[in-house]
Amino acid sequence: MSELSSLSIAEARDALRRGDVTAVELTEACLREIEAADALNAFVHKTPEIAMERARAADAMLKEKGDEAPGMCGIPVGIKDLFCTEHVPSQAASRILENFRPEYESTVTAQLKAAGAVMLGKLNMDEFAMGSSNEHSVYGPAVNPWRVDERLLTPGGSSGGSAAAVAARLCLGATGTDTGGSIRQPAAFTGIVGLKPTYGRCSRWGIVAFASSLDQAGPMTRTVRDAAIMLQAMAGHDPKDSTSADLPLPDFEAAITGDIRGKRIGIPREYRMEGMPAEIEALWKQGAEMLRDAGAEIVDISLPHTKYALPCYYVIAPAEASSNLARYDGVRYGYRAKLAKGEGIVEMYEKTRAEGFGPEVQRRVMIGTYVLSAGFYDAYYNRARKVRSLIKRDFETVFADGIDAILTPATPSAAFGLGEMSEADPVQMYLNDVFTVTVNLAGLPGIAVPAGLDSQGLPLGLQLIGRPWEEGELLNLAETLERAAGFVSKPEKWW
Amino acid sequence: MLDLSFEAPKPKVIAGAKHDWEMVIGLEVHAQVASKAKLFSGASTQFGAEPNSNVSFVDAAMPGMLPVINEFCVEQAVRTGLGLKAKINLWSAFDRKNYFYPDLPQGYQISQLYHPIVGEGEVIVDMGPGIARRVRIERIHLEQDAGKSIHDMDPNYTFVDLNRTGVALMEIVSRPDIRGPEEAAAYVAKLRQIMRYLGTCDGNMQNGNLRADVNISVCRPGDYERFLETGDASHLGTRCEIKNMNSLRFIQAAIEFEARRQIAILEDGGEVVQETRLYDPDRGETRSMRSKEEAHDYRYFPCPDLLPLEIEEEWVEAIRASLPELPDEKKARFVSQYGITEYDAGVLTAELANAEYFEAVAQGRDGKIAANWVINELFGRLNKEGLSIEESPVSAEQLGGILDLMAKGDISSKIAKELFEIVWTEGGDPAEIVEARGMRQVTDTAAIEAEVDRIIAENPAQVEKAKANPKVAGWFVGQVMKATGGKANPKAVNEIVAKKLGL
């Protein structure tokens, strides 16, 4: 493992500013790591030319601006394939976007670029961000750099490539997106930090939509501080996204003071699921104790509608997805099926979508179409919307009662083996999101922090959920947790 | 009180083979918002551009693209709502209407099903002096237009033009208050007139900027009244919807055909099937497009890319304050202010530009004479030449000048018409033309008397005839006019001839 690619963003930033290292050197180090890591299948479109060009530009910016250069200047990052990147393949890990090269750059990646960040390439993911294992990808699964036996493990999903790349030190940070846990679950599975900001904090413009009311981009990094630095460049109001919040952007890194005294941390009793592994339960308890030791007050709270969150999510997200994915019809771009003589537009739609979408996407499009159809709309979609507002109210109530943040496990288990779930009922896979979907439904910020290893030696994460727009405070709490947990383990390089 | 009072027209009755029938009609009018940019993208709405040249990434539904509401379009919808005396909803929201079609790139149309921006209003549809139908408006909502599929350019392919995709439409939905084909056409014409006054839609039906879907059913006399009393639609017949008509003539013809088609079915003991139909203007008939069973399930749901549309009361009031005088008020004012007939007022207010022209002419002059000249001379001539009022070679100032010369007695109405012709073809200041060409009317009685004396002296036989038959005096008047090149004041000539002949 290259020393350079193992630097944290904060360390690299300081080294760049001091002139101890150049962006070109950092980038070259990462590119070497990427070249040697094909076994992880994390980077699916490599962009070394763009990377070197941006690295040189970043060095120029650093020279010109010195300490005034943005925190991300010269930092090599990976970009989830869900983000549209100008003239670079952007296909949401789907066959239906085969050969699609957008003529535009998503707001988030454009902001990273403007801040001097160096794009190394595009990262693997579950197709259209639908999945928890990265197994639903046209590129094949990304592989978790952690392994304890001969089994290959999932890096989680949908931002599995991002998580694997960051954990394997192929890049210093990566963009992810999170609709039901797609940043936090893979972060927990790979022992890194994943932050899903408040809905509306980062622009959705130029990110391939999965479920518009839930999707949110966020940073995936190796430290909490790095998440703060990277979020600073990704976030901000965008008039091109009507759901993006027109709020001033605080200095997220400055919010990390290490002082959490007097903060009230809620422990929701409804998250104590039946059949929860004892080590998860123990880790959760330890996390609470660490925060208490740092001066926070631990409070038992109730979020009574939690048990409805998963079914509610699996109505709303597919409903929106079924509509959002209607545009992939073979008419204007992407994949178009070959037609037999005499076949018309209906056959073109049917064949294109049957051949272009993988089974999980097809399943969700069908679920979504069903729950929105006449006669079922009220029973499913409308009901789910009502449940969603109740879930949101649960959080509002505890925050109004003075709770500053909520601590939960990030996932119900550590990473599982690739292929292990392939025969299982899809609902088993959906259960991976049980601790994370509530946060998306309520539009809140949530962060997964690596907190320990399970008995096999695989990373486990804890999740902190914050008040809306209080990412700074959330990061501060997370950094305390990170420090107290002292998670320093790294995957052994086997690839 | 500026409102004109009116009575409702009789519903159209169609005599069937067995008994009489009436029809009940409701319309959905799609009016393109007069905006340079589309509803959710910055792309241009210019008509007639090269295919697929007015298409943004949003219109083409590229991955990750998001709609952003065009505030100007919202303002036009509010303006239209206020013009139709409708309730403005300060809180409205957008929904997605999902269906697949190649000219619908998103796979859904963004519309307002559940919470439209404009609620109930009304339109007074004039059906002749003192007769008008009050048509209630149910709602107006904003929505995106689709693109255009062209099926006949290639035997194997359909071509798609996305220029129209995403253009803002106002869908104006009426209650089933319309009772005949003429009323339906007049209703659309009235909406068009009001929106042109407001400037919210150019009303160009040929370009498809104003289109109508017609819902029509037939019933027996008395059924409609029972429906109105009870609100129970089962008193009405099964309706069919005729889609997408862009001419008043077609609307009328389609309704006429469709009502007779339904009546024929019912009188044969059959049942009308609820369905969507298309009007074929070449064959003058409607045909089935899709039945109720084949109807799309649009899977409407709130568009998650857009926040609810919240507008401020003060903003609405500011728009209200900026509304122009609307056709009904203008017409009533013309009747009372200028003393003209309701019919003439209706003609003069049909188009705002006409009304403005008339008022410029009538200002400080005799309103009735101004109305006569504008309607008969000017409009007559414009119609003949196929010109619009904006293209009129005779300005309101020039026409006013002609009327002034007439009022002063400088020219007769006959000369005035000649003068109008000169101004029309050559232009110029009417008073100067009269001076330069010696067209001024001779009112000098001495000169006229001398001329009369001469003609009497030269025509003793005619004098005798005139004494026997006073009508022959007209011959003398004609001779005098001829001798003076038509410039003699006819009134003065009449009097002098009568006096000299001793009549």
Give ipTM to 2 decimals.
Answer: 0.96
C-alpha of A61 from chain center: 29
Task: Strands of B329-417 (E only): list them.
Answer: none
**Shared domain check, A55 and A164:** yes
Say how far apart CA B190 and CA B198 lie, in whole Å: 12
The neighbour count for residue B15, using CB atoms within 10 Å, is: 9
Among chain A residues, CA nearest to B106: A327
Total tally of structural domains belonging to chain A: 2
Asked if the structure places residue A432 within a domain, the reply is yes
**Shared domain check, A221 and A104:** yes
Say how far apart CA B205 and CA B104 lie, in whole Å: 22
Find the helix or strand (DSSP H, E) in which A58 lies: helix A48-65
**Shared domain check, A129 and A51:** yes
Find the helix or strand (DSSP H, E) in which A324 lies: helix A309-324
pLDDT recorded at residue A2: 58
Residue ranges of alpha helices (H) inside A96-254 are 107-114, 160-167, 184-190, 224-234
Asked if the structure places residue A284 within a domain, the reply is no
Query: C-alpha distances in angstroms, A200 versus A193, A325, A438?
Result: 20, 21, 16
Residue B85: phi and psi, rounded to 5, are 55, 40
Say how far apart CA B215 and CA B254 lie, in whole Å: 11
| Amino acid in the structure at residue A359 | P
Say how far apart CA A360 and CA A131 lie, in whole Å: 8
| Digit-coded pLDDT (tens) for B267-280 | 999 999 999 999 99
Rounded to a whole number of angstroms, the distance from the CA of A63 to the nearest CA of chain B is 35
Q: Is A140 left (phi over 0), alpha (psi -120 to 50) or beta?
A: left
Contact A241 B66 (CB under 8 A): yes
- The packing angle between helices B181-198 and B71-83, to 10°, is 130
**Shared domain check, A423 and A369:** no
Return the closest-CA partner of residue A121 out of A23, A50, A29: A50
Judge contact between A421 and A458, C-beta under 8 A. Answer: no
**Shared domain check, A363 and A237:** no
Asked if the structure places residue A231 within a domain, the reply is yes
Asked if the structure places residue A285 within a domain, the reply is no
Mean pLDDT to the nearest integer, A139-144: 98
**Shared domain check, A156 and A238:** yes
Residue B426: phi and psi, rounded to 5, are -110, -20
3-state secondary structure (DSSP) of residue B257? helix
Report the CATH number that the domain containing residue A426 is assigned in CATH: 3.90.1300.10
Give the max Cα distance, chain B.
100
- Residues in Cβ contact with B204 at an 8 Å cutoff, skipping those fewer than 6 apart: B210
Which one of A326, A351, A382 terminates a domain? Answer: A382
Rounded to a whole number of angstroms, the distance from the CA of A476 to the nearest CA of chain B is 31
**Shared domain check, A414 and A372:** no
Asked if the structure places residue A214 within a domain, the reply is yes
| Digit-coded pLDDT (tens) for B406-457 | 998 888 888 899 999 999 999 999 999 998 888 887 767 777 888 888 888 8
Asked if the structure places residue A136 within a domain, the reply is yes
Find the helix or strand (DSSP H, E) in which B213 lies: strand B210-219
Q: How many helices (H) and strands (E) does chain A have?
A: 15, 11
Contact A373 B297 (CB under 8 A): yes
Residues of A with CB under 8 A from a CB of B: 83-84, 90, 92, 97, 100, 102-104, 106, 204-209, 211-213, 239-243, 319-320, 322-323, 325-327, 329, 331-333, 345, 349, 369, 372-374, 377, 381
Cα dihedral B405, B409, B412, B413 in deg (nearest 10): 60
Asked if the structure places residue A389 within a domain, the reply is no
Among chain B residues, CA nearest to A380: B301
| Amino acid in the structure at residue B429 | D
The DSSP bridge pattern shows strands A216-221 and A446-453 to be unpaired
Q: What is the CA radius of gyration of chain A?
A: 21
Domain that holds residue A322: 307-382
**Shared domain check, A256 and A356:** no
Nearest by CB: B304 against A320, A345, A374? A320
Contact A103 B69 (CB under 8 A): no
Judge contact between A466 and A473, C-beta under 8 A. Answer: yes
pLDDT recorded at residue A275: 83
Say how far apart CA B47 and CA B35 lie, in whole Å: 11
| Digit-coded pLDDT (tens) for A242-251 | 999 999 999 9
Return the closest-CA partner of residue B135 out of B171, B178, B170: B178
Task: Output the DSSP codes for B278-313.
Answer: EEETTTTEEEEEEETTT------EE-TTS--EE--H
Which residues does chain A have within 8 Å of residue B100's beta carbon, measured at their own beta carbons?
A: 326, 329, 349
Judge contact between B411 and B439, C-beta under 8 A. Answer: yes
C-alpha of A495 from chain center: 23
Contact A332 B60 (CB under 8 A): yes
- Residues in Cβ contact with B33 at an 8 Å cutoff, skipping those fewer than 6 apart: B39, B73, B76, B77, B142, B167, B168, B169, B170, B200, B201
Say how far apart CA B129 and CA B126 lie, in whole Å: 8
Return the closest-CA partner of residue A316 out of A363, A362, A385, A364: A385
Rounded to a whole number of angstroms, the distance from the CA of A444 to the nearest CA of chain B is 17
Say how far apart CA A418 and CA A151 lie, in whole Å: 8
The DSSP bridge pattern shows strands B240-245 and A446-453 to be unpaired
State the catalytic residues of A.
80, 158, 182
Say how far apart CA B221 and CA B204 lie, in whole Å: 36
- Could you give the count of Cα atoms lying within 13 Å of A13 in the half-sphere of its Cβ? 23
| Tokens coding A270 | 């409804």
Contact A319 B305 (CB under 8 A): no
**Shared domain check, A326 and A181:** no
Among chain A residues, CA nearest to B41: A240
Residue A226: phi and psi, rounded to 5, are -60, -40
**Shared domain check, A438 and A339:** no
Contact A323 B107 (CB under 8 A): yes
Say how far apart CA A489 and CA A154 lie, in whole Å: 18
Asked if the structure places residue A295 within a domain, the reply is no
- Could you give the count of Cα atoms lying within 13 Å of A293 in the half-sphere of its Cβ? 11
Q: What is the full per-residue pLDDT of chain B (503 aa) written as tens digits?
A: 346 689 999 999 999 999 999 999 999 999 999 999 999 999 999 988 999 999 999 999 999 999 999 999 999 999 999 999 999 999 999 999 999 999 999 999 999 999 999 999 999 999 988 999 999 999 999 999 999 999 889 988 889 999 999 999 999 999 999 999 999 999 999 999 999 999 999 999 999 999 999 999 999 999 999 999 999 999 999 999 999 999 999 999 999 999 999 999 999 999 999 999 999 999 999 999 887 777 789 999 999 999 999 999 999 999 999 999 999 999 999 999 999 999 999 999 999 999 999 999 999 999 999 999 999 999 999 999 999 999 999 999 999 999 999 998 888 888 899 999 999 999 999 999 998 888 887 767 777 888 888 888 888 888 888 888 888 888 888 888 888 877 777 778 888 888 888 87
Which one of A382, A417, A436 terminates a domain? Answer: A382
Say how far apart CA A412 and CA A398 lie, in whole Å: 23
**Shared domain check, A13 and A47:** yes
**Shared domain check, A373 and A426:** no
Give the max Cα distance, chain A.
73
| Residue for token pair 């943004």 | B56
Rounded to a whole number of angstroms, the distance from the CA of B329 to the nearest CA of chain A is 40
pLDDT at A1 > cutoff 50:
no
Domains (ranges, CATH) in chain B? 22-294 (no CATH), 323-436 (no CATH), 445-501 (1.10.10)
Provide the β-strand partners of residue A301. A268
- Residues in Cβ contact with A284 at an 8 Å cutoff, skipping those fewer than 6 apart: A267, A407, A408, A409, A462
